[in-house]
Structure 1
């Protein structure tokens, strides 16, 4: 059972919603485009990997990529949540990595098959610690960075999201009933690329989050 903690409260992780192509520059680098509505896929809860745990690359992929993202923890669930009320349903925020077995994903795309294996393997939903929602009262105006061996590889300005946090919560809740403990990975900026055994990874959001991981 995957859990996350915030302010001494434990949340059982429910659904893990991941948003694809939510930054224009990333969509372009992947040869795609932003659609009129969000594109959402799911990861299993067994994919959760917490700060301090080693990232173990799957033996059946030779090309695992990092995708750094702002992650939303739902504190109060609901159905058909209005955009104006959406942020009231957020308990906290973290940074995460949506790890992707890119070679496996490419083969699945060619065959018209689901991406589940490429996106949902053990450890593919990497998480920093969570900070309370009031630490980020305007999640659409923050920036964060991802480093490999102290070299910055991704920089995100959340104002560049095609669909902001409130819009995502409203849209997802209009299709799926949100529950306390659900996570939303809100999409990655440009600069995705491979990670390899022996590398040191770091996710940074101002002075709120500085999470480090080892790839083994």
Structure 2
């Protein structure tokens, strides 16, 4: 049973276990990675958590979004297009009585474009999409239009992202990798827009 739950590691709901759907491709971000990432974000966040708006674009288990909400984020918007996963997210939100969390069932890329067009902006965007579908390459270019000034993007991938050399992918243009690390088979990165990039 233990592999089908995540544990919140900080904030108001610290140590609270949350059930996770056993679904193909669902990979909750491991505790150790979340701890590292939230330490990174704490050092980079322009304001405090209680004013932060967060977008979890491929929410899956919701591990990242619930962690942000536990730490007092003003609002967390979780998006997933898998019905059973969305129902599990809603059940976990209700269990926590987390009124700072909004859960939407939608195609993440289409909704991201729609949010940008409506002028919605976020301090932190989590990108942890299913692997092998090129979703990071499609989602990251949508983020500049969704970020507040000084905002951060957390990106998880099956390979390391690199801005070096001729093989740096075009979709990484305009971004700086603030921090990056690897845990097991997971490569994780904290990204910030370069000055002047939009």
The TM-score by the shorter chain falls in which range? under 0.3
**TM-score, L = length of structure 2:** 0.27
Choose between structure 1 and 2: higher strand proportion: 1
Choose between structure 1 and 2: higher helix proportion: 2
**TM-score, L = length of structure 1:** 0.25
Higher RCO (CA < 8 A, seq sep 6+): 1
